[in-house]
Amino acid sequence: LQIAAERVKRGEDNLYDLLINIPPGTTKTTICIVMYPVWIWLIYPQARILTLNYSATGAKDKSVLSKDIIKSDKFKRFFPEIVIRPDIDNKEVYQNTMGGERVAKGIKGSVLSGHYHFILPDDPLNITEAGSKLKMDTTNSMISKIATTRKVDKAITFTCMIMQRLHESDPSGMWLSKEGLKIKHINLPAKDNGKIKPAFLKLSMLMECWIH
């Protein structure tokens, strides 16, 4: 994630986009959607960031948590240069004084304007809709459309999708089945089903269990 942020700042071609499949309750959203956008601004304060969720309310709630970090007294002491513009400061969109922007949208909402350096879909498919082919296809179509039309530059913009696997044809399956996509896949299922990726993470998980 840090390497991606640094490459985007330098305007270098992306090595890959990132797909993280991990069960709920493992702080995936806290790390990738709440904390990572704040970290991006510390590296590249001019970055424009789009975060997505199946729920517009969920997307905005996580965006507000990021903003709470930036506005906290402790953050201000260590990083006083990152300041939210008072005239563009709401749950869905806010900007910093150096040109950076954070936009939070529901996957089914309208993302018709703006181009972004980072696109971060988090749980884009509602678990209750995973059994509907129509709803799943609609979500997959929206992910593909946003990924091709809302990038500052197709070679530079970094996309990181974080979700639990819900179906073989869910957005993760759609990404993995597309030829030509440069994707790094991190897969950490709740139980070892022989599909942990990268493989070295299995050893790390076993070591942690042994230590505890």
For residue 210, what pLDDT is reported? 42
Residues of the chain with pLDDT under 70: 110-112, 200-212
Question: Residue 8 corresponds to which tokens in the numbers above?
Answer: 């985007």
Q: Name the H helices within 19-151.
A: 28-29, 36-43, 56-71, 73-78, 133-149
Order the strands of the 101-106 sheet from edge to edge.
84-89, 93-96, 101-106, 48-53, 118-121, 158-163, 17-21, 183-187
For residue 194, what pLDDT is reported? 74
For residue 212, what pLDDT is reported? 44
Distance CA 48, CA 27 (A): 23
Per DSSP, 197 falls in state: B
Question: Tens of pLDDT along 146-175?
Answer: 888 899 999 999 999 999 998 889 999 999
For residue 207, what pLDDT is reported? 42
Would you put residue 206 in left (φ > 0), alpha (ψ -120 to 50) or beta?
alpha
Distance CA 118, CA 197 (A): 23
Distance CA 13, CA 60 (A): 29
For residue 111, what pLDDT is reported? 64
Q: What are phi and psi of 154, to 5 degrees?
A: -60, -30
pTM of the model: 0.90
For residue 202, what pLDDT is reported? 60
Strand-pair category, 93-96 with 101-106: antiparallel
